[in-house]
Amino acid sequence: MATPVFVGDEVTAAGYRLAGARVRVPAAGDEAAALAAARAEAPLVLITAACAARVDTGALRVALAALAPLVVVVADAQRGAMPPDLAARLRGQLGLEA
């Protein structure tokens, strides 16, 4: 079974490492390259919202829309940047929430 890859800050990476994921902690400006490398080697890529915010919007959209590997934006350990609430967004688009 292939191992998931986490891309994000060192503190959050420590927790994912303990859970068995491989981790990548990119230097400032290397987030897009780290995401591309993780996508090339893993069936599941977890990237923090803060790290994802520093990736080119077009490249991030392509990664999130791809069927494989699955890319998921997650919160970091300090909850400094939160991923978007997709359920609330969908409810709003359907007119179920104001």
Kindly indicate the confidence band of residue 98, based on its pLDDT and cuts at 50, 70 and 90. low
pLDDT at 90: 73
Give the start-to-end residue ranges of the domains of the chain: 5-77
Structure confidence by residue, pLDDT tens digits, 1-26:
589 999 999 999 999 999 999 999 99
- What's the CATH class of domain 5-77? alpha beta
Q: What is the pTM assigned to this prediction?
A: 0.81
Rounded (5°) CA angle 69-61-20: 35
Structure confidence by residue, pLDDT tens digits, 27-85:
999 999 999 999 999 999 999 999 999 999 999 999 999 999 999 999 887 776 666 66
